[in-house]
Structure 1
Amino acid sequence: MAGVDCLPEEINVLTLNCWGIPYVCPNRSDRLEEIGRRIVKSNPQPHIVGLQECISKTDFEHIQQETRSILPYSKQYFAGPLGTGLALLSRWPIEEISITRYPLNGSPTALFHGDWYAGKGVAYAKVRYGKEPDNIIDVFNTHLHAFYPGHEYLCHRVSQAWELSKFLRGASQRRHDRALVVLLGDLNAEPTSLPYRILRHFVPDIHDTWLQHSLRHKKPPKGSQGGSNTREDDTNVQSGVTYGSPYNTWMWTRAQRARYLRQPGAPVSELGFPAGVGREQVMRIDYVLANVTPRYLKDIEIGPYTDRFGSGKDTGGTSKVDQGRGVWTVKSAKVGMVDRHPVLGCSLSDHFSVETTLAFQKIGKGVPISRQLSNEPRGADHRAFTGLKEDAGSETHVQELQGALELGELPGEPNTIELLDEIIHVLGENSKILQQRSWWRRARLGVAGIVLAGSLVGVWVVGVPGWARFLLALAGALASACAAVDAWAGISLYPTETAALEEFEWEVKNAKRSCDSVTSL
């Protein structure tokens, strides 16, 4: 099979939100073509690329054409009225693909938000990089619901993170040996947010590669700007931000762009930077998550393991790692795509990319794994890096955030019941939002009915002048259209949302009951 003769010891992964919404995003075609060229020029060159908001088929074909020399295999995913915007480029053959839409994804009546029409979901690809059964990469690409002022869609993002965690957990449980599970995407969730913590807590095998790199080097890894792409007063949590950076020209006002963007033909040295650009929107919301832990090795020394829902699982006895086995580790992680367009002078997207190199490190025969991970932190730092922490009642126990706590990266990880209670609280708040939405829908229907009845009376009963009759007829037509849309949403769409919420609530409460029953034993 072409392209899979030699097993790679390193796999380079890149994820980027392209900001490629047709008729909305300025300079879209020129920017996305340049993104394709920059992918080829990346150092190191990526083997797997996940794109979000790459909606236009023409734009994707341009990127395909630019990257075909290094990424000959590709797939653009389609779902929903406008498409998912998700796309994958690969150095190796793609064996299987699927796209699963999220049950909860915004409202069709929120026309200026548009998430419902994007058909957001989980795009999956099974990429084969070798001939053996375990020489595969399960690649998941996603884009969660966008963040808007208020908390109207928080429940939707939480639900999407819950669904995503089930896909990742299933894939990580099936993998073995050299198989790799990777999640790429724009989660629209910061490291302290509930959707992010759901993924970290309920999929213990999947790790944030940026955070893992930070733990390994005991400091946040720097982006291409030399560390200036951070919020000054919060560099630990927001290290490696990909959205809202003052270095991104799309965070500037229109007047600032008109004044400081480089004009065609101007030298690079004349690039300006507005002094008044704030850092209030700086966020790290784009991620590469991967199974960079040694727990999948069958012969690693490990004791009974309890999963996050309280069911005990014996992962095997205690023995040494066999010759040829190994672990995937994070070699490097950086923020990329920060250089501006060579002609337009603008940033390539309103996001920066995340670029990660995963390295496979073999373990010698009969030698404990802790002695083979060279140049890693020792003691508590080593346990934090490998994902293993000594705990009473078991020989080893997964504790992902230990090192993050030592670095001041994230708040303390709650136990499962606390996290489930937090999800249930979000569901309760969402119920109040749905009640308010239902009240406003009935109010709109009432007003539309009154306007329609008044227009009919004015047109057919009262002898009003011709221009007034036209205005009354127009008002009646608009009222009829609004009433029809609200009726359509109330009959066919909102019941679907309610059903999805009920299913989600049942799953969460059932998980909590399982935890309570285990705790009471």
Structure 2
Amino acid sequence: MANTSSFPPSNIRILSLNCWGLKYIATLRNERLAEIGNQIAAADPQPDIVGLQECWTQKDYNAIRERTQDFLPYGKFYHSGIFGGGLAILSRWPIVESNMVRYPLNGRPAAFYRGDWYVGKGVACARIRMGPTRRDIAEVFTTHLHAPYETEPHDSYLVHRTAQAWEIAKLMRGAAERGHLVIGLGDFNMVPLSLAHRIIETHSPARDVWRILHPESSIGAAKDKVEQARGVSMPNADYNVTVNGATCDSALNTWRWNEAHKKRLKRGENVVIEPTVDDPNAKRLDYIFFSSGSYVDATTGTASSEWTLEKANVGMTMRHPTLHCSLSDHFSVEATLTRSISDSSFSNNHSALPETYLPLDVYDEILSKISEYEARERFQRRLRLGHFGYQLSIFIGCLIGVWWSPHNYVSFILMFLSGIGLSAGVIDGLMGGLFVSSELRALREFEWEVRNTRALAEGKEGKAADSSEVS
């Protein structure tokens, strides 16, 4: 493996991709992920830091590592939850420290068909040393936030995703306060300027690279009301990729095609979609956020950013060379950062980060959503515990009924059905008594942080009400 260079880099190329590597579920998984490794290796310029999401298996991770290890000799596959978090980081420079930070709020075990809770979603963190000095450190955070299963504001998991955005914003802010380059990337399952997006850009100094370069880019799919309210014309597929930064649901992505096109692909046809076709569904869900380490010029005493954004683009839009399918159901987002100072101009005096806040009504909106969700979960807990009590009563009744059963087969049916019912009741009781209680406590922690921050934003430092214990 390569050693840390004595000459720190003057620029960094970053790539983030959701690989769609769901084991047993994702179509053509092995072939696609192997080709993803080939295309990362063939990229020009080659990336220096890569963040992967939905890379669920060690085998798929190893396949990508084998193809990229010549220029990305360092890597970490992160383990989390029951089935794994699907996160990985590859780097040109040594990863000197890493950890996996689980999200306190992350779906519900009852929604086993969605899987968010079982994979233990969180933030994969890596501290990367790019050179010999303390300032040659990048702190990289890659994540995959909870998926939206309904349209906001009706999404029942909105509170979970909001809390997750709050958590990663805290991690990025802490890294920035240490004076390090901060890189946050991944599939955030949010559209630009949504509540989660605003939380990240307000409660951390990290900025969305795409909106730095394209501040007027879309804030949703063209068919969405929030985008239609802007009064913009229907974008074509090429415009969505090059200007709006769309990484998901693009008309150019084969996994979003209609069944007729998919059947042609299965027959081996290389179906071509013109880039001028209307693209009403494409949106941006994948992001790179960055915050530069600051410095004070030793000559002028002026505070400046150490790293600046040079360019950003959507990538990995190519197809598999023989299967003719897209490499994932997402495209990648990529960016290049450039260092703007030399060693001689650097001073170790880092300026303090300014305190920034959202409008007070936004904190009130978050608190309102928390309150609604808490009421929902308390009701769910009562239902689940009530179900357990009901099934236990039925089971005891059947035990008693067996004494007067006229036939053995009737006794068997009574015990068999009541046993199944009691098993379901016990599972529901455990979810209501253990999981929901744990979720309510995590929810109360999030609520306290929001209330405290709102009080600070209102100028009432130290006057935020403490939370009472959740029963």
Do the structures match in fold with TM over 0.5?
yes
Q: Deviations over 1:479-517 (max 9, x none)?
A: 122111112112322111111111111111122222323
2-structure distance, mates of 1:141, 1:230: 27
Query: What is the deviation of 1:456?
Result: 4.6
1:423 aligns with 366
2-structure distance, mates of 1:263, 1:42: 29
2-structure distance, mates of 1:424, 1:158: 11
1:174 aligns with 178
Find the residue that maps to 1:164 and give its secondary structure: helix
> In structure 2, do the counterparts of structure 1 residues 451 and 23 end up closer, same or farther at CA, with 3 Å as the change threshold?
farther
User: Contact (CA 8 Å) 1:213, 1:331: kept in 2 or not?
Assistant: no
Instruction: Report % sequence identity.
Output: 38
2:314 aligns with 335
Equivalences for 1:457-476 in 2 at 5 Å? 461-463=404-406, 466=409, 472-476=414-418
2-structure distance, mates of 1:127, 1:430: 38
Equivalences for 1:307-386 in 2 at 5 Å? 319-320=301-302, 327-362=306-341
User: Contact (CA 8 Å) 2:34, 2:64: kept in 1 or not?
Assistant: yes
User: Contact (CA 8 Å) 2:381, 2:433: kept in 1 or not?
Assistant: no
User: Contact (CA 8 Å) 1:330, 1:357: kept in 2 or not?
Assistant: yes
Task: Provide the aligned length of Structure 1 versus Structure 2.
Answer: 435
2:131 aligns with 130
Paired AA for residue 64 in structure 1:
R
Find the residue that maps to 2:237 and give its secondary structure: coil
Query: What is the deviation of 1:58?
Result: 0.8
> In structure 2, do the counterparts of structure 1 residues 448 and 119 end up closer, same or farther at CA, with 3 Å as the change threshold?
same
2-structure distance, mates of 1:89, 1:278: 36
User: Contact (CA 8 Å) 1:19, 1:53: kept in 2 or not?
Assistant: yes
Q: Deviations over 1:455-491 (max 9, x none)?
A: 556766433684x766554432321221111121123
Paired AA for residue 458 in structure 2:
D
- Pick from 232, 237, 256: which aligns with 1:228? 237
Paired AA for residue 100 in structure 2:
I
1:507 aligns with 449
Paired AA for residue 202 in structure 1:
H
Paired AA for residue 480 in structure 1:
L
Query: What is the deviation of 1:452?
Result: 3.7
> In structure 2, do the counterparts of structure 1 residues 474 and 253 end up closer, same or farther at CA, with 3 Å as the change threshold?
farther
1:290 aligns with 290
Equivalences for 1:194-205 in 2 at 5 Å? 194-203=195-204, 205=205
Query: What is the deviation of 1:435?
Result: 3.3
2:376 aligns with 433
1:381 aligns with none
2-structure distance, mates of 1:365, 1:490: 61
Query: What is the deviation of 1:30?
Result: 1.1
Taking structure 1 as the reference length, the TM-score comes to 0.75
> In structure 2, do the counterparts of structure 1 residues 174 and 227 end up closer, same or farther at CA, with 3 Å as the change threshold?
farther
1:192 aligns with 193
- Is 2:106 the partner of 1:91? no
2:459 aligns with 517
Query: What is the deviation of 1:341?
Result: 1.3
2-structure distance, mates of 1:517, 1:336: 44
2-structure distance, mates of 1:443, 1:252: 45
2-structure distance, mates of 1:349, 1:469: 54
- Is 2:234 the partner of 1:246? no
Find the residue that maps to 1:354 and give its secondary structure: strand
Q: Deviations over 1:247-291 (max 9, x none)?
A: 2122234454112x1644x5xxx424499x995542211100001
1-structure distance, mates of 2:411, 2:26: 41
Query: What is the deviation of 1:440?
Result: 3.4
Query: What is the deviation of 1:448?
Result: 3.2
Q: Deviations over 1:396-434 (max 9, x none)?
A: 9999xxxxxxxxxxxxxx844222112111112212321
> In structure 2, do the counterparts of structure 1 residues 458 and 346 end up closer, same or farther at CA, with 3 Å as the change threshold?
farther
RMSD over aligned Cα atoms: 3.3
- Pick from 489, 493, 508: which aligns with 2:435? 493
2-structure distance, mates of 1:52, 1:332: 22
Taking structure 2 as the reference length, the TM-score comes to 0.83
Q: Deviations over 1:282-323 (max 9, x none)?
A: 22111000015x8x223499xxxxxxxxxxxxxxxx8346xx
2-structure distance, mates of 1:397, 1:77: 33
> In structure 2, do the counterparts of structure 1 residues 415 and 114 end up closer, same or farther at CA, with 3 Å as the change threshold?
closer
Q: Deviations over 1:199-220 (max 9, x none)?
A: 01111x21111111225xx878
Paired AA for residue 123 in structure 1:
A
Query: What is the deviation of 1:160?
Result: 0.9
| Structure 1, unpaired ranges of 5+ | 221-225, 302-317, 367-395, 400-413
2-structure distance, mates of 1:14, 1:185: 9
User: Contact (CA 8 Å) 2:387, 2:429: kept in 1 or not?
Assistant: no
Find the residue that maps to 1:117 and give its secondary structure: coil
1:152 aligns with 156
Find the residue that maps to 2:146 and give its secondary structure: coil
Query: What is the deviation of 1:5?
Result: 2.8
2-structure distance, mates of 1:290, 1:352: 19
Q: Deviations over 1:334-378 (max 9, x none)?
A: 111111111222211111110111111238999xxxxxxxxxxxx
2-structure distance, mates of 1:463, 1:449: 23
1:209 aligns with 209
Q: Deviations over 1:29-81 (max 9, x none)?
A: 11111111111111221000000111101111111101111111000011211
Find the residue that maps to 1:65 and give its secondary structure: helix
Query: What is the deviation of 1:445?
Result: 3.0
2-structure distance, mates of 1:219, 1:501: 34
2:54 aligns with 53
